[in-house]
Amino acid sequence: MVQAGQPNKGQNWQHWVHETYRQAQYGQLLHGKTMVVAVSGGPDSMLLMHWLAEVRHLQDNPMQIIVAHVHHGFRLEESQQEALLVKQAAEELGLMFEMTQVDSPGYAKKHHLNPQAAARELRYAFLKSVANKYNSPAIALAHHADDQAETVLMHMLRGAGSSGLRGISWIREEEGIRYVRPFLHVRKQELVDWCQMRGIAYALDSSNQKRAYLRNRLRLDIMPLLEQENPRITEALVQLAETMAAEDDWQQQHTVELFRSHVHSFGVEVKEDTGALEGTLKQQYQRFAMQYTAGCLMKRDVFLSVHVALQRRLIKLILNYLFLEAEQADFSTIERLRLRITEPKTTWREEAGNKVIAIREYDHIAWLSGRRDGAEPASVHCHIERGSGEMFYSSYPSKIVWNEMAVRQMEPDFLGDKFDAMFDADAIQWPISVRTRRQGDRMRVKGLNGSKKVQDMFVDAKVPSSLRDAMPIFEDASGQILWLPGIRRSDIALIGPATRSVVHIRFEPVS
C-alpha cells in the first residue's frame, strides 16, 4: 500500500482535469446520467475515480458514479486490503460502491483458461452486471498509454495485422454497453505523479513483478531496452496504434461495402438478399440453403477484381460471421483460402476450420457451415401422365408444366428455350418419370452418334457439383433418358412428318 504524500499546491490539478475532460468530451467518451468505473486499487484506476468525481461538477447534470471492485481470489491478504482501500476512498468521495469476490483459480481450472484470462472474464461479467443494475450505458476503464504500447508490442510479436496493431480502443461497445478509456493518451508515470501530488493512496499489485506473464516481461525487460534506442518508444507505439486504427476502420468500411454489394448470405447476422441472384448462382444459393444452416456466396471474378488487402479482409469477415462465437480466423487460414481461389482449378473443396468449408464451383465461390441433418439428396421420383398438367419438383425447386396437343395446334415458329422440350407423344413409353441422377446414367444425344454419360454432360455444361445430385432427369417407362432440362435432349421421340400428337414440357426454376 502506498500512502501518498501531501498534494503539491504548485501543480494545477484543476487545469489538468479540465483539459482531460475536454479531450474526453471531444471523443464522446462521457455521456449519460450514470457511469460505472472499474477500480482495482492501483494508481491509474484510483486517479480515474477521483478524476470522475471532479468531472461531475463540470457537467450541467452531474452523472452518478458507481465504483465497481473485483476481488479475484488471488493474493488473498493483499486483495482484501485493496478492497478496503477502494471502498473507503469511494465513501470519502460520496460515490456508490459495488464489490464481488470470485474464484479465478477455480474458474480457470474448470474452463481450461490461464489465470489472467479467467480473471478478465469474471471481472467483465461483474462490471456488466453492475452496469445493468444501475442502467448505466458506460463503464470507465483506466487503461493508459503504457498499456497501449505494451498491447501493440504484444500483438506485433504475434504477427497481428492492422486490426491487432490498433491496440486498445478508446471506445468499445458490446451488448449495449460502452467501455470508455479516458486516460488512454496519458503516460503511467503522469498518473502516479498526480496520485502523489493529490495525496491519493493506492496499492501496488505484487503480481505485476512476476515475469511469468508476457506483458510483465515486456514492461520490465523489453521496453527499457527499446527506450535506449528510442526514448519515446511508448509515444511511437501509441501513434502507431492510432494510425492503424484509422486505416483499419477505412479498410473495414470498404470490406463491409464489398460484402453487402456482392456477397449473398443466409443464416448469418447480416442482410440476406437474393434480389440480385440470377441463373446458376441463384440455383446454388437455393440448394445450399437447403443443405446448410449458414453460408455466403459470390462470383469469383468479383473477388479477383479487388486488391489483395480487401480479398483477405473479405475472407476474414465471412469466416468471422460463420464462426460466430469461436476465435477469429488466423492469417494462415485466410491466405490459404485466398490463394486457392486464385488457382485455375475450376472445382475444389477446402476445410476452413470450425466446421466451415470453402467451395469453388466454376465461376462461383462459397463458404458454408452447419450441414443439415438429412441434407444428402435422395433419388426423387415423380411421374408425368399422358395429357396435360403441372407439378412442383422439390429437389431442385421448380415447376413442371406439360401440355399434350395435336400437331396442328403447335405454333409454327415455336422455338422455346433450353427449359422447353417437344416430344412425339405417341413415340414415348408413358408415364414419364422425373428423378435425380444415378451412377452410370447415359443418354442418346440428339445430333450425336451414340450415347454420352450424364456426368460428362454436367461437366461440359459447367453444372456446379452441389447441384448435380438435385438436377432433374426425365426418362420414359422403358428407362431411356429423354431430357436434361437446361442442358440437352435426347434423340428419342423426335417430332417428324408422321407425328400426330405432341407433348410440350416446360421446366421452370422458381424461388
Residues 457 and 463: their CA atoms lie apart, in Å, by 9
The 8-class DSSP code of residue 490 comes to B
Give the mean pLDDT of 274-290.
Answer: 69
Q: Under a CB-based contact definition with an 8 Å cutoff, are residues 308 and 338 in contact?
A: yes
Average of per-residue pLDDT across 444-450: 81
**Other CB atoms within 10 A of residue 416 CB:** 12
Closest CA to 436 of 296, 295, 287: 287
Task: Determine if the peptide bond prior to 431 is cis (ω within 30°).
Answer: yes
pLDDT tens, 107-141? 999 999 888 899 999 999 999 999 999 999 999 99
- Per-residue pLDDT averaged across 4-16, rounded? 64
Report pLDDT digits (tens) over 386-425: 999 988 887 777 889 999 999 888 876 666 678 899 999 9
- pLDDT bin (cut points 50, 70, 90) of residue 7 is very low
When comparing pLDDT for 73 and 305, which is higher? 305
How many whole angstroms separate alpha carbon 229 and alpha carbon 237?
14
CB 422 within 8 A of CB 483: no
C-beta separation of 30 from 171 below 8 A:
no
Alpha-carbon gap, residue 305 to 478, rounded angstroms: 50
Tell me how far apart the alpha carbons of residues 493 and 368 are, in angstroms, rounded to a whole number. Answer: 42
Question: Taken in order 424, 427, 429, 434, is the CA torsion positive or negative?
Answer: negative
* Segment 139-148 mean pLDDT: 96
Q: For 371-499, where are the alpha helices, taking DSSP H only?
A: 454-460, 465-468
Question: What's the residue count for the chain?
Answer: 511
Q: How far apart are CA 356 and CA 342, in angstroms?
A: 19
Whether residue 472 has pLDDT greater than 70: yes
**Which residue type sits at 306?**
V
Tell me the helix, strand and coil percentages in the chain, rounded to 5.
Answer: 40, 25, 35
pLDDT digit string (tens) for 335-386? 999 999 999 988 888 988 888 999 998 889 999 998 877 655 555 578 889 9
Rounded to an integer, the average pLDDT of 423-433 is 92
Dihedral in degrees, nearest 10, Cα atoms 421, 425, 431, 434: 0
SS3 state at 427: helix
Instruction: Look at residue 9 in the predicted model and tell me its pLDDT.
Output: 47
Per-residue pLDDT reduced to its tens digit, 162-189: 889 999 999 999 989 999 999 999 999 9
Angle, CA 57 vertex, CA 53 and CA 61 arms, to 5°: 110
Say whether pLDDT at 489 is over 80. Answer: yes
pLDDT higher at 377 or 503: 503
- For residue 445, name the pLDDT band (cuts at 50, 70, 90): confident
Q: Indicate whether 68 pLDDT > 60.
A: yes
Residue 511 has what pLDDT? Answer: 57
Residue with cell string 413409353? 429
**Per DSSP, which regions of 148-248 are E strands?**
171-174, 177-180
Q: Coil, strand or helix: which one is 201?
A: coil
Q: What are phi and psi of 293, to 5 degrees?
A: -80, -25
The Cβ of residue 225 has, within 10 Å, a number of other Cβ atoms equal to: 9
Residue 276 pLDDT? 59
Instruction: Tell which wins on pLDDT, 29 or 295.
Output: 295
Q: Which of 439, 445, 436, 438 is nearest to 482 (CA)?
A: 445
Between residues 327 and 240, which one has the greater pLDDT?
A: 240
Contact criterion met (CB below 8 Å) for 105 and 73: yes
Q: Which residues pair with 488 in a beta bridge?
A: 484
Instruction: Record the cell numbers describing residue 137, joined without a space.
Output: 450505458
Cβ neighbours around 500 below 10 Å, total: 10
Q: Are 69 and 39 contacting, i.e. CB atoms less than 8 angstroms apart?
A: yes
Confidence of residue 281 (pLDDT cuts 50, 70, 90): confident
pLDDT tens for 48-59 read 999 999 988 887
Residue 325 pLDDT class (50, 70, 90 cuts): low
Q: Which residues, including other chains, have CB under 8 Å from residue 228's CB and lie 6 or more apart?
A: none
**How far is CA 133 from each of CA 34, 36, 129, 139, 174, rounded to the nearest angstrom?**
11, 10, 6, 13, 16
Q: Is the CB of residue 323 less than 8 Å from the CB of residue 356?
A: yes
Cell 403447335 identifies what position? 410
Q: Which of 197-211, 374-388, 458-472 has the highest mean pLDDT?
A: 197-211
State how far the Cα of 195 lies from the Cα of 212, in Å rounded to an integer: 28
Task: Specify the amino acid at residue 148.
Answer: Q
Residue 438 pLDDT greater than 90, yes or no: no
N-term to C-term CA, the chain? 70
- For residue 286, pLDDT over 60 is answered with yes
Which carries the bigger pLDDT value, residue 287 or residue 415?
287
Can you say whether the dihedral through the CA atoms of 67, 73, 75, 80 is positive or negative? positive
